[in-house]
Amino acid sequence: MYALILHGWYAIKRVTKIDERFFDLLYLRMQIKGNPLANKRFNAVHYAGSSYDAVDISKVDNFMKLKDQSSLEELIPYSSHITDNLIVTRNHDLLATWQIDGAYFECVDEADLALLTDQLNTLIRSFDGKPVTFYTHRIRVRKEVRPVFDSKIPFVNRVMNDYYESLSAAEYFENKLYLTVCYKPFSAEDKVTHFLSRKKGNKNIFEEPINDMNEICGRLSTYLSRFHSRRLGLYEENNIVYSEQLTLFQKLLSGRWQKVRVTNSPFYTYLGGKDLFFGNDAGQITASDHARYFRCIEIKDYFQETDAGIFDALMYLPVEYVQTSSLTPIDKQSAIKALDDQIDKLEMTDDAAKSLLADLKVGLDMVSSGYISFGKSHQTLIVYADSPERLVKDTNIVTTTLEDLGLIVTYSTLSLGAAYFAQLPGNYTLRPRLSSISSLNFAEMESFHNFFTGKEKGNTWGNNLITLWAAQEMIFIT
């Protein structure tokens, strides 16, 4: 008996020495486990893009029925549009999203960039201890050159079309930035109370939360206006209502942009639509000829120091990826207690990490003085490619860049499925490697820097005049 305990203790010590978050990640792995029969059939953790009834397909497959598949439905938190630009989740949380053009950062004075970061830090501090979570998404995608020049002069047409054809021979990329705020208005006790009071004629439990959320969104819209932001919501096209927010969430689920119409059905019943397969350290979207492949890169250890736009180097890479970060602010007293406990622990054990101890004391002073706040944060970067070979190449490029920045990174294995679904705002419990970071660190890592590419359509004079080739492999529209 004692020998078993000794062996168990030794095994636990070994795995936690390799990765101190091993058991946290193992727990997340159990949350995204799929259906054993479907997993055996596909030799991977499988989630079906559609739900099925108990249809017997034994003539096609000897051991599986259509219902023997885990559906994406159980992992999609979104229920309906409660207003034109607010989505409510199955847990009664409210979500609002902005698309952000970003701030130009090349050849800009460092003092100006630092000012923007300080302003973002101040904004985050104002939500100290409030039941909100911020999600940011930096989506780097290919951009195709497809203009056809048409004028009344044949020679000009020939020259310009040859020029555009030469542009289309190369790969170009653009960065799309998004911010989503999730507001959690109800505690567990509130939900029970509201459930019971519904039978007594409670008219609208969301009236006050919507007013609170509108106030939050007003503050965010005012701040984000300096980055040329736009609030996402409903729009109509050919008498059909579509949702821009759902288009973003569909991209995060399926890896492709697709317009999503709003129907009377709950959103979780029809979002996705693509089968997902999670292997050891890579995944696949659908099993058709148009399959896409992905790997997730997690940050094991953060920077010793951060500066405004520390991830800017990623914006130059010829790689498609989605970088997701989240922050759930904690209240000031909880942050002070956590820092005090960590300082006491290091001092009691006479830990040799003197610089860490000094940093913690500085952080404690800054929190107490109100200059920064703290929150629970996660950061993942999912690389997409059209072939396994390209996926390996692109992930190596990204990993090398992150390591050059001073980060210790790893590929998601146990937490691959959880990390993928944690891209969706509102899936709080699936976020891997949650760490406490300061509001200033978060602001510096997500400073909303971007390239200015101009406007392709909808200019005052109509469409763009010409497309130019910029040095960072972006399409520059004039």
Rounded to 10 deg, the angle between the 110-125 and 207-224 helix axes is 170
Give the span between the Cα atoms of 53 and 75, in whole angstroms: 18
Give the Cβ contact number of residue 298 at 10 Å.
21
How far is the C-alpha of 98 from the C-alpha of 90, rounded, in Å? 21
How far CA 284 is from CA of 306, 345, 384, 445, in Å, comes to 34, 44, 9, 29
pLDDT for the residue 139: 96
**Pairs from 16-23 (Cβ < 8 Å, separation ≥ 24):** 19/300, 19/410, 21/300, 21/432, 21/433, 22/414
The CA distance from 173 to 317, in Å, is: 9
Nearest-10 crossing angle of helices 22-31, 2-18 = 90
Output the pLDDT for position 60: 46
> 434 near 378, Cβ under 8 Å?
yes
In this prediction, residue 113 carries a pLDDT of 85
435, 408 contact by CB (below 8 A): no
Q: Amino acid identity of 398?
A: V
Report the candidate in 17, 47, 2, 25 with the shortest Cα–Cα distance to residue 432: 25
Q: What is the pLDDT of residues 127-154, one digit of tens each?
A: 988 999 999 999 999 887 766 677 788 8
From the list 227, 231, 229, the residue with the least C-alpha distance to 105 is 227
* Contact of 379 with 445, CB cutoff 8 Å: yes
Please state the separation of Cα 476 from the chain's center in Å.
Answer: 26
pLDDT at 353: 66
Look up the pTM and report it. 0.88
Q: CA–CA separation, 257 vs 287, rounded Å?
A: 18
Q: Give the contacts of 173 (CB within 8 A, at least 6 positions apart).
A: 140, 141, 142, 143, 318, 319, 320, 473, 474
Task: Confirm if 311 and 399 have CB atoms less than 8 A apart.
Answer: no
The span from the CA of 233 to the CA of 170, in Å, is 34
List of the chain residues with pLDDT < 50: 9, 57, 59-60, 62-64, 200-203
User: Who contacts 477 (Cβ-Cβ below 8 Å, separation ≥6)?
Assistant: 453, 454, 455, 456, 464, 467, 468
Strand pairing class (45-48; 70-71): parallel
- Rounded Cα–Cα distance for residues 45 and 89 (Å): 25
